[in-house]
Chain A
Amino acid sequence: QVQLKESGPGLVQPSETLSLTCTVSGFSITSSSVHWLRQQSGKSLEWMGRMWSDGKTSYNSVFISRLSINRDTSKSQVFLKMNSLQTEDTGTYYCARNLYYYSGDGGFDYWGQGVRVTVSS
């Protein structure tokens, strides 16, 4: 079955870099897009960026200067790196999958359980 699982540190120092890994199973990351999203406490969801099935990336302009997304197809992993973290970057980070349909990009049909990240000294 399709699964995604995020992993990474729960605590990051201000100004440091956040590194997260999304490990997927049940589908190939060379066939589907994998996205990163963030949810600050008590707030809505924020799309950060995506790894396309062909290896290209797209980013939300809000994060473009400090975010990079990469992948390792042999390990079915997609990576997020975001630098210059501040306290407002505290939140839960999710990876999720979507598929392309005739009508366009579909919604996120599978999500990871999320990883809670706190930015604090």
Chain B
Amino acid sequence: NIVLTQSPATLSVTPGESVSLSCRASQNIRTGIHWYQQKSNESPRLLIRFASQSISGIPSRFSGGGSGTDFTLSINGVESEDFSIYYCQQTYSSLYTFGPGTKLELK
């Protein structure tokens, strides 16, 4: 199974700051990684597809990068609505797996 590790587990920021969240895969997965945002008691929302492809309707402050084993989700100027949990997911392997998540919280 491909294991995804996310860091940090929790990130405390003030609105307006720019942040980067990390996702590392246990083996080369090319760009088979996707990012989600999940707010409390809501379903996850797809933010970025295939490491860096933007999704219609997602604010432009969200961007992604990386390939191989190291991936990053960046938020350029965190807004109050962004405080939630972020997950990465791989579909390189047919046995899809998710990372444990990074909680973005208000400092």
Contact = CB atoms under 8 A, between A and B. Distances in A.
Interface residues of A, dominant DSSP: strand
Interface string B70-107: 00000000000000000101011011111111000000
B95 A107 contact: no
Given A94-B43, A109-B46, A104 B91 contact: yes
Interface stretch (A18-26, A66-74, A76-84, A111-119): A111-119
Interface residues of B, dominant DSSP: loop
A44 B96 contact: no
Interface residues of A, number: 22
B63 interface: no
A104 B49 CA distance: 11
Contact of B46 (A46, A47, A58, A107): A107
A112 B43 contact: yes
- Which of the four size classes fits the interface of chain B? 20 to 34
Contacts of B62: none
Interface in B11-65: 31-32, 34-36, 43-46, 49-50, 55
Nearest to B97: A47
A103 B44 contact: no
B89 A107 contact: yes
A41 to B, nearest CB: 11
Interface of B: 31-32, 34-36, 43-46, 49-50, 55, 87, 89, 91-92, 94-101
28 contacts: A44-B87, A44-B98, A44-B100, A45-B44, A45-B87, A45-B98, A47-B95, A47-B97, A58-B94, A60-B95, A61-B95, A101-B50, A103-B32, A103-B50, A104-B91, A105-B32, A106-B50, A107-B35, A107-B36, A108-B36, A108-B46, A109-B49, A109-B55, A111-B43, A111-B44, A111-B45, A113-B43, A114-B43
